Amino acid sequence: MHDLIIRQTHMTVPVGTIYCLGKNYEKHIREMGGAGPTPPVIFIKPRTALVRPGGIVHRPAISSEMHHEVELVAVIGKKGKGIPEDEAMDHIQGFAIGVDLTLRDVQAVAKQRGEPWAVAKGFDGSAPVSEVLVRTEIPDPQDLTLRLSVNGKVRQEGSTRDMILTVPGVIAYLSTIFTLEPGDCVFTGTPEGVGPVEPGETIRAEIVGHIAAEWNVA
Ligand code: MG
């Protein structure tokens, strides 16, 4: 169940650690009312957070405000620590579109109390990820349009050109702290337009022109 699917071969890869970068697009930082953090905000979701394309996401009972955050996901294919930025692409097996589902009400309380985001960000189902495109299908990860729709209505649309830390920059930074391993996923931050998604609605996320996936919310 907690496997990534490689689109070209239909092979599955067990998902490893899911790393997420917060606040990597200026306009999203502004909509959240914050300033850009240095160093970047990093958090982790358990592997059990993964939901395959076409799966169902359950909003946990502890929350009444679950937000979508559409993000480019890099899937690690080669183990590394201290990866130089100019070698980072060699460590990426492929790319997917993912949704960093966030319990915004739970997160707000955690922020207020200075507590971790583990519950707000890491609950079961908090990481829907599409099939994975091999890296050669994405010649330039900084030239992609990410889009998220809810019940057919576009809620988020942004370009990876606007990322503050580029994909190789994110990989290089993470690998100064963590050993990245095959199957690990790196969520690279969300553009603006985050908002609530309710039980009964359908989320569609896409890298425009490359891949799309849908999940129903229960
Ligand atoms: Mg996010």
DSSP annotation of 38: S
Q: Ligand 1: distance of its center to the CA of 187 in Å?
A: 7
Tokens of 203: 């989320």
pLDDT in tens, the chain (218 residues): 789 999 999 899 999 999 999 989 988 888 888 776 678 899 999 999 999 999 999 999 999 999 999 999 999 999 999 999 999 999 999 999 999 999 999 999 999 999 999 999 999 999 999 999 999 999 999 999 999 999 999 999 999 999 999 999 999 999 999 999 999 999 999 999 999 999 999 999 999 999 999 999 99
Strands 127-128 and 50-51: parallel
Tokens of 2: 């907690």
Rounded to two decimals, the pTM is 0.96
Query: Measuring CA to CA, which residue among 99, 85, 215 is closest to residue 142?
Result: 85
Q: Ligand 1: distance of its center to the CA of 28 in Å?
A: 10
CA angle 138, 168, 185 (to 5 degrees): 75
Q: Ligand 1: distance of its center to the CA of 68 in Å?
A: 8
Q: Is 173 helix (H, G, I), strand (E, B) or coil?
A: helix
Q: Ligand 1: distance of its center to the CA of 190 in Å?
A: 5
Is the alpha carbon torsion for 88, 92, 95, 96 positive or negative? negative
Strands 102-103 and 211-217: unpaired
Is the alpha carbon torsion for 79, 85, 187, 34 positive or negative? positive
